[in-house]
Chain A
Amino acid sequence: KAGVTQTPRYLIKTRGQQVTLSCSPISGHRSVSWYQQTPGQGLQFLFEYFSETQRNKGNFPGRFSGRQFSNSRSEMNVSTLELGDSALYLCASSLTSRRGGGYNEQFFGPGTRLTVL
């Protein structure tokens, strides 16, 4: 099976711009989660989507949003970029049930490295 793919792999933007990141989960996985990874902060949970619905959300401002399509592919959008948004954005997919929870492992993609100048 193909793994989780993320595009683009690298992005350079300037403050105030917006950006859209894409994630294709493993075939058959309906849950997609997004994380922000920065040195010293580890992985910070952004949100999770299941069957096109946001099922869980972390503590990020409203500038961070996402969506999921009927084929389980997901996009994440960050508007009005700030310097502090520079990070590696990771997408993870899993086979979690409709009930939710972490009863299955997450499979991570390679990430999108976002640099905000």
Chain B
Amino acid sequence: AQSVSQHNHHVILSEAASLELGCNYSYGGTVNLFWYVQYPGQHLQLLLKYFSGDPLVKGIKGFEAEFIKSKFSFNLRKPSVQWSDTAEYFCAVIGLLSGTYKYIFGTGTRLKVLA
């Protein structure tokens, strides 16, 4: 079955620490990959996306993610987090398989950055 796994449900970091949030997917067809972020009290918004080409993609606010096809992973990274990065992060896969497509989101990772 198609699925997206985010291994860390809650992460607490101090400002300036490095961040890596894991995302693994299980999907048999062509996939497009996304990371969305939901800041407290705000809408879900796109951080970055991967469709094809360079597997290292850069998004807004200094975030980047690397697509490793052999590991079915799309981990999110940021070298130095800020207090304002406190939010919930969702990995998402949209896959085409046998002429139909599915939108699948992970369960989310709540990040708390301590000032």
Contacts and interface: CB of A to CB of B under 8 A. Distances in A.
A105 B34 contact: yes
Interface in A48-94: 48, 56, 90, 92
Given A105-B34, A105-B49, A43 B90 contact: yes
Contact of A102 (B43, B90, B103): B103
A42 B107 contact: yes
- Interface of B, helix, strand, loop or mixed by DSSP: strand
* Most chain B beta-carbon neighbours within 10 Å: one of A44, A45, A48, A102: A102
A109 B42 CA distance: 9
B26 interface: no
A101 B96 contact: yes
B67 interface: no
Contacts of A103: 32, 51
Nearest to A105: B46
Interface of B: 6, 9, 32, 34, 36, 43-46, 49, 51, 90, 92, 94, 96, 100-108
